[in-house]
Structure 1
Amino acid sequence: MNKLSEQDIEKQLLQFPEWEYYEDALHAEFEFENFKDCFSAMSRIAFECEALNHHPEWTNVYNILTITLTTHSENGVTAKDFKLAKAIEEIVEPEED
């Protein structure tokens, strides 16, 4: 998996308005109703991380989840990071039916 150029990253970010790119990584912060909802989302995200064999750097304080995605072996952002960001988005902000 090759590191993406900044131009490619900025183009991809148009699909991910919750995410920002800086310090060779994608960053997002999500707020939930309470700790239980936040932790539940983290648990569901963990299963996606295992399935993709790609793991975020993340922190949780009460109802706030902060996530950083980068591919350490490539020292930057790759398609793998965007694939995980998409999975995270689907968990955190499911589409309304």
Structure 2
Amino acid sequence: MADVLTAQAVRDELEGLAGWSGDLAGIARSVELASFPEAIAVVDRVAVVAEEIDHHPDIDIRWRTVTFRCVTHSVGGVTRRDLDLARRIDQIVGASDEI
């Protein structure tokens, strides 16, 4: 089982994750895509990665704005798995900017 990070560790990690914010209860990032279909395409790509690593973000879609929230529900806090998923989400969002 993954270990919950300390408040300081979460703060330190968030410094290296542009656009992400949060605390011990979870980390989140909202992104605005070019169109609703592009927002759905990004969510689809994140879903594939989430299944591969068996770690799933909470996702909220509002037209072109998608909010990703990462927390390890089974341990009640932020773990390394959440930070790794956040980095993967950033890669997907970055790749969509290049399309």
Normalised by the length of structure 1, the TM-score is 0.93
Corresponding residue number in structure 1 for 2:16: 15
For structure 2, list consecutive stretches of 5 or more residues without a partner in the other structure.
Answer: none
What corresponds to 1:41 in structure 2? 42
- Stretches of 4+ moved more than 4 A in 1? none
2: CA distance between counterparts of 1:21 and 1:61? 20
Q: Contact between 2:26 and 2:69, CA under 8 Å: does it hold in 1?
A: yes
Summarize deviations over 1:8-32 as a string: whole Å, max 9, x none. 0111111102100136100110000
CA distance in 1, matches of 2:24, 2:66: 19
Compute the displacement of 1:61 (Å). 1.3
Partner of 2:92: 91
SS in 2 for 1:17: coil
Please list the CA deviations of residues 16-69 of structure 1 after superposition, one character each: whole Å capped at 9, or x if unmatched. Answer: 021001361001100001001100000000010001101111110110101111
Hey, what does 1:31 align to over in structure 2? 32
Aligned length: 96
Percent identity over paired residues: 27
Q: Match of 1:93, SS?
A: helix
Question: Relative to structure 1, is the Cα distance of residues 22 and 8 closer, same or farther in structure 2, using a 3 angstrom cutoff?
Answer: closer
Task: Name the structure 2 match of 1:62.
Answer: 63
Equivalence for 2:82: 81
